[in-house]
Amino acid sequence: MSPLSPGAMAAFKAAWQVWQVPAHHFLLREKSVSDYLYFIEEGVARIFYHKHDKQITEWIALDGNFFLSITSYFERTPSKLNIQTLEPSLVYGIHNHDFMRMAAENHEVETLLRRMVTRSLIMSQERMDSIQFESAQQRYEKLLENSPGILQRVPLTYIASFLGVTLETLSRIRSGK
């Protein structure tokens, strides 16, 4: 995302913690402050919230993805989101205080942080555009293109929620009706 000198890279890597967590493990629960930006090396995690007694899936992170509760992480406020693994996962996390301190002390890390935040904003805008301007069929096809193995790893109910459709609509899309 942004090159780091060997010294900056060593310090940055040292700041990350690593956890091997089981399926259904909560990395963050709503009403808690999100202390970590996460990277999932192996596994699946979903970010969701509760609305009208339903769980709404906002994001699904598969192998090799960064994820977080962005408002809570940067504003240091209680999160409205939950982050839960869906399968046993190898997860890395960098604490907000460590990342912000390193960014303040090192221009390379500051640039990396800026690029990560920019990428997160772009992904959020792309997701909003997708929901506003694409059909459910188009969103489904794009999901399969970007995450080919997702159907084998994520329950359909979460995928339907992520796509903004009912489970019945997802079934019709999948069957080609």
How many other C-beta atoms are found inside a 10 Å radius of the C-beta of residue 116?
16
Q: d(Cα 46, Cα 62) in Å, to the nearest integer?
A: 9
Going along the chain from its start, the domains and CATH numbers come out as 6-133 (2.60.120.10)
CA dihedral 24, 50, 117, 73 (to 10 degrees): -80
pLDDT at 177: 60
pLDDT at 91: 98
Q: d(Cα 121, Cα 23) in Å, to the nearest integer?
A: 28
Structure tokens at 110: 């500051």
Q: Which amino acid is at 156?
A: L
pTM of the model: 0.90
Tokens 């962005």, located at residue: 70
pLDDT of the chain, 177 residues: tens digit per residue: 788 889 889 999 999 999 999 999 999 999 999 999 999 999 999 999 999 999 999 999 999 999 999 999 999 999 999 999 999 999 999 999 999 999 999 999 999 999 999 998 999 899 999 999 999 999 999 999 999 889 999 999 999 999 999 999 999 999 886
* Ramachandran class of 76: left when φ > 0, alpha when ψ lies in -120 to 50, beta otherwise: left
Tokens 């010294």, located at residue: 7
Q: Could you tell me which of 20, 16, 56 has the C-alpha nearest to residue 37?
A: 16
| HSE value, Cβ hemisphere, 13 Å, CA-based, for 10 | 3
